[in-house]
Structure 1
Amino acid sequence: MRVLTLPVGRRASIDVPATSANLGPGFDCLGLALDWVDRTYVETLDADRQVVVEIEGEGAGHLPTDERNLIVRSLVTGLDRLGARVDGLRVRVRNTIPQGRGLGSSSAAIVAGLAAAHALVRPDEPFVAADWLPTADRLEGHPDNVAAALFGGLVLAYRSVADGVRAVSTSVHPDIAGLVLVPDRPLATEVARSVLPAQVAHRDAAANSGRAALLVHALTAAPELLFEATADWLHQSYRGPAMPESYRLLTALRKRGLAAVISGAGPSVLVLGRPAELEDARQLARQPAQHEAASGFRAVPVAVGGGVRVSAEAPAQPHDQL
């Protein structure tokens, strides 16, 4: 097989949004892109440089800065798929998405790496999100976050018997905004998944199916139904002991009639609603002394975001290597 060796100096920049998965009842199938972006710059280097990773912002000093970095590993996977390689690589990352908080930081890294691979190898061709969803799903292990990061907006991911993982994206009602309450401490996704039961009651599964369907309607056409539509019986209560502060805050917000959910596997809490409806949550977050449940959380207003954005510079002519 002929391998395309990319020339030195080829560059690309990738913007990937934060994402919130599950949204209450949409366990492992619904995802929402947020206007909260990590930016990645990549440049091909000569062989003497190998892999250079520079990280600013979230994760700096903690994330790997060599071949173990998730963006680099995903980029190499993308290059392999496209039949290409690089002698050396510089990756500069400006992270704003909190790590380990249920906001899709790992999905953002995976999508950034795959999109960078496409931009480096095929800079004159548009990046087609659907073409890369199966690879992103394989790397992440579940499709909801990566699908939202790829497509933007509200995404429903599913597995087709014939075609594997697929996703459909739709616009969110323009009146809907969000508020993310981010805790001081992270929680590993593996821990959050380990506490889930192997089986659930049929009535709970049926109730969740109804609310997940209602949630799609609420998010796209009927914001007044968001509180009812975000009720969940499959995962949030089971995860409560692993994130007691988040679950206490979730309970306090829902007692106020707010459409609050655990974001992804947690421990961040996402509140959805019209801007005026979110003011109560903001007030609670601003006064942790009066509202113990909000202690240790910072409030971040968000809107619905778009999908990954890819920009590539015009390359020099590549050469082939056997």
Structure 2
Amino acid sequence: MKKVTVTVPATTANIGVGFDCLGAALTMANEFQFVVVDHDPKLKIIVEGEEAHKVGLGENNLLYRSLVQFYQHIQQTPPHLEITIKLGVPLSRGLGSSATAIVAGLLGANNLAGNPLSQKEIMEMAIAIEGHPDNVVPALLGNCLLSVEDCGTWQITSIPWHQDIIPIVAIPNFELSTREAREVLPAEYTRSDAIFNIARMGLLIRGLETNNPQWLKTALADKLHQPYRQKLITGYQKVEQAALAAGAYGMVISGAGPTLLALANPERVEQVVKSMLEAWNSIGVASQVRSLAINPSGAKVV
């Protein structure tokens, strides 16, 4: 009996101005166990965790579809499998739950097939399935990464993240689909909005490296996606005001939302967590607010 276990971290994408190209791996993860069996059915999926009832158990499951796509790529037939999914990343909350499934499906398949593809090839397949790199690349590789397409190839660079910048995720008890979050975005932007984001992208990269408070406060603004998505997130302004009043450098939408990401120094973390939680509670929205860290290693295969 062949068995492989893949652990894939949650991710926070965009970080404000890095729309569809910047993301970071976090210390929160999903675990996927693949066991090859010699009997029918050809697929059995078991899901454990608070939101297990929301995960499909058939061949349309994103994890399994990614695995099948891998085997199609290498022109082989997938083995019969029993797959166990242990959920640690909330679903449809802007923390890269779909990216964990894609990366795990590809890594699990690659291992079961004898590792015919390189990490770079796995990464390119993951980007093609997801449609953009901001979640799947850091989920696979870890750290905070900038992904740039160049004539069909990808240039990936690590963005240094100062150890005293603590990511805080405020996760509400409602979902927001990526499709819905993309539908509210305009088809065109003004030159001034593009310049606004370009300038702040450079400042964000330097701010994350140096932990410069003023640079971070300025750089976490955005004009390409957040102004349009805020209205989809109940209590956004109230939670943002609470985070800033508690001493956070700033707050952004994590991925497509509705999770909100605040950055703060270690001395302010406890108060920021408390204030964001109380802000949502005050308008009747249940949430969990957690301080995390950057995951430096990305997905792991055992």
Are 1:88 and 2:80 an aligned pair?
A: yes
Q: SS state of the match for residue 13, structure 1?
A: strand
Among 194, 202, 205, which residue is 2:183 paired with?
194
Q: How does 1:280-299 map to 2 (within 5 A)?
A: 280-288=271-279, 292=282, 295-299=285-289
Give the aligned residue type for 2:40: D
Question: For 2:268, what is the secondary structure of its paired residue?
Answer: helix
- Distance change in 2, residues 1:212/1:68 (3 Å): same
Greater strand fraction, Structure 1 or Structure 2:
1
TM-score under structure 2 length normalisation: 0.92
User: Which runs of no fewer than 5 residues in structure 2 stay unpaired?
Assistant: none
Structure 2 CA distance for partners of 1:277 and 1:130, relative to 1, 3 Å: farther
Matches within 5 A, 1:23-62: 23-62=15-54
Give secondary structure in 2 for the equivalent of 1:172: coil
CA contact 1:182–1:298 (8 Å) conserved in 2:
yes
Please give the alpha-carbon distance, in whole angstroms, between the structure 2 residues aligned to 1:279 and 1:54: 36
Contact 1:18-1:105 within 8 A present in 2 as well: yes
Stretch of structure 1 that moved more, 195-204 or 106-115: 195-204
Q: Secondary structure at the match of 1:61?
A: helix
CA distance in 1, matches of 2:99, 2:216: 26
Larger Rg: 1
Q: What corresponds to 2:170 in structure 1?
A: 181
Partner AA of 1:97 in structure 2? V
2:251 aligned partner: 260
Cα distance change of structure 1 residues 42 and 202 upon mapping to structure 2, 3 Å threshold: same
CA–CA distance in structure 1, aligned partners of residues 211 and 79 of structure 2: 53
- Please say which of residues 33-42 and 279-288 is displaced more in the overlay: 279-288
Matched, 1:271 2:262: yes
Secondary structure at 2:154 match in 1: strand
Task: Specify whether residues 130 and 87 from structure 1 end up closer, same or farther in structure 2 by C-alpha distance, changes over 3 A only.
Answer: closer
Moved more, 28-37 or 272-281: 272-281
**The residue matched to 1:55 in structure 2 has which SS?**
strand
2:9 matches 1:17: yes
Checking the alignment, whether the CA contact within 8 Å between 1:246 and 1:268 is kept in structure 2 is no
Instruction: Return the offset for 1:286.
Output: 4.6
**Secondary structure of 1:279's partner?**
helix
Match in the other structure for 1:238: 228
Identical pairs, percent: 34
Aligned residues: 299
- In the alignment, which of 112, 123, 136 is matched to residue 133 of structure 1? 123
Query: Which of these residues, 189, 194, 200, is aligned with residue 211 of structure 1?
Result: 200
Paired letter, 1:185: F
Partner residue, 1:152: 142
* Root mean square deviation, CA, Å: 2.0
Within the alignment, does 1:112 sit opposite 2:101 as a pair? no
Unaligned runs of 5+ in 1: 1-8, 312-322
Instruction: Tell whether the 8 Å contact from 1:173 to 1:223 is kept in structure 2 after alignment.
Output: no
Q: 1:237, 1:282 → 2: CA distance?
A: 23
Output the TM-score relative to the length of structure 1: 0.87
Contact 1:12–1:120 (CA<8 Å) still a contact in 2? yes
Q: Which residue of 2 aligns with 1:99?
A: 91
Question: 2:239 touches 2:276 (CA, 8 Å); kept in 1?
Answer: no
Q: Does 1:300 align with 2:290?
A: yes
Q: Which amino acid is the alignment partner of residue 234 of structure 1?
A: L
User: How far did 1:47 drift?
Assistant: 4.3
